[in-house]
Structure 1
């Protein structure tokens, strides 16, 4: 996956209108034409699916990136996407430089919709002073996450050195994102505030079940060494108590679409050859020569590989997707 950013072309509104008439769209809406409800636009279907769970039939959700083969880093939005963002009541993005295209769309469309930025709810986000799940401060944190005037002037965040922006693989962060979505929907639609709150609480209960599964994995295999070709699953790996021994220089190069230095590749292959690595974790949405070498070496030594994706697979919910990821790790480590 490449985190190299480039200016994304956003077509003019005249072209956008033409595309609308032609029925072109790169995203997928939760509701059909003519449905009523708040319009929610999410950069990827990860956050779109979460919004669907919180908003239910009261919202129409459009996720701009839905295809498992599409790398969100290189996604180029259409003119239709610009119009969808312009009409949004609420926008949900990952932030941290991951989905810069949504920030370009917000700016070019003139959208004044509130924006929920997922990275801001991570304990590891440099600007986040943290939140205490036991002290009842979560709601305060969600309230404070609303886009201020200052934030509205700078929707996006550049890639932050040393910060893993793939925060949707951290269930605890996702709970806070869901709370923030519920808060925003309640402010936009006060008559249904209790429904949004109840849905968020139900979702939080499902996240607790995920965290219990991760705790069980930690108890059974805590400290087991894994090799992750990219930092995408880093939060889930850490929550499971597993030890990611991948050289930073390897995963960073792969993430940024650069060649892995020969010395780093040799070091990585030696780690696989050592026999200490229990599983190799890859990304379904990117591929490269160095990753292929790691996979080949792992297969030659009987080390299982597990592939994680950056978007929710078709037919899955966020919860079922994470359950499947945890189950996949558990299965190979139990073997």
Structure 2
């Protein structure tokens, strides 16, 4: 889902906006013919580069596992990148709100904003936009609107980059936006997006095969980051909600909840523990130690793209790890 945002500047980053005025006057990015894409994280940056190839300059604001999108504070370099962007890709859903602040501080009616959470259709509170009849524009649209969209997650799980169908749709939207900017390369962008989607379709088939063998098997998670992927594999999240919510919020779960979690990963109730390596603390480390002591398999997940991997290779490694943990 793409949108064009006519936004008013905020007081936030106003000083940076003034500082950039001189740069904009002397260096108009529109005059150099370069298509610039800014992504909130390296996950979306990688997908954008896959679709664009060498035809665009891609900047990922969050590019290191040491950076937390929930707490990230934008700087002047980020502001400059957004102010010069033709396409901006955000996760949305409250995950990368710093991008909203940047866009509001540097309004640009021409920038195309691609919001993955809105595209996902998974957030019941998201605005629904009518794009008209797009049935002939992309054969992947129907394929990627899969049955995972019918799942009821309760509170919205904003980690939509673990929902493969959504990422294929994001790639399609990137290709459409790029094609509008460079019509001569539109078919190449579309082909790249289709190839990317085909790779994710193959992974979706593998997840379906896992579900056929292990449907209903229980798992525990320290955070809901990989839940869309685990659900596609037919697995059931048995984590006490208070535990994963506390981890997400950076607070301590009540002692009884922690004990319930320790018991869960120790008594054979779950096939494996899904452990978010990027959000750890004393309580998650206790849970990890309990799982390891009990011989419960541990599958590590990350929020950001690991160094040296592209998105498809990353998700393939995650599916491989799930299969190994399940013993099939």
TM interval, shorter chain, is: 0.7 to 0.9
2:200 aligned with 1:207:
yes
> Which residue is 1:121 aligned to?
119
Q: 1:261 to 1:53 in 2, by over 3 A?
A: same
Are 1:317 and 2:310 an aligned pair?
A: yes
Change (3 A) 1:138 1:120: farther
Identify if the C-alpha distance between structure 1 residues 294 and 18 changes in structure 2 by more than 3 Å, giving closer, same or farther.
farther
**Any gaps of 5 or more consecutive residues in structure 1?**
1-6, 20-34, 143-159
Cα distance in 1 between the residues matched to 2:11 and 2:162: 26
Aligned 8 A contact 1:36 1:60 in 2: no
Query: What's the CA shift for 1:39?
Result: 0.3
Q: What residue in structure 1 maps to residue 235 of structure 2?
A: 242
Do the aligned partners of 1:43 and 1:63 also contact (CA within 8 Å) in 2? yes
Correspondence for 2:16 among 12, 20, 24:
12
Instruction: Give the superposed CA RMSD.
Output: 2.9
> SS of 1:73's equivalent?
coil
Q: Deviations over 1:227-277 (max 9, x none)?
A: 001010010010111111011111111111111012211222222232121
3-state SS in 2 of match to 1:277: coil
Structure 1 stretches of at least 4 aligned residues deviating more than 6 Å after TM superposition: 128-131
* Partner residue, 1:74: 71
Query: How big is each residue's C-alpha offset from its partner over 1:128-183, in whole Å with a ceiling of 9 and x where there is no partner?
Result: 6699xxx94884998xxxxxxxxxxxxxxxxx970000000000111111111111
Shift of 1:9: 5.9
Where does 1:47-196 land on structure 2 (aligned, <5 Å)?
47-112=44-109, 113-126=111-124, 127=126, 136=135, 139=138, 162-196=155-189
Contact 2:116/2:160 (<8 A) preserved: yes
3-state secondary structure, aligned to 1:227: strand
Superposition deviation, residue 18 in structure 1:
11
SS, match of residue 70 in structure 2: helix
**Are the structure 2 counterparts of residues 312 and 295 from structure 1 closer, same or farther at C-alpha, using a change threshold of 3 Å?**
same
Give yes or no for contact 2:11–2:105 (8 Å, CA) kept in 1.
no
Unaligned runs of 5+ residues in structure 2 are 1-9, 24-31, 142-152
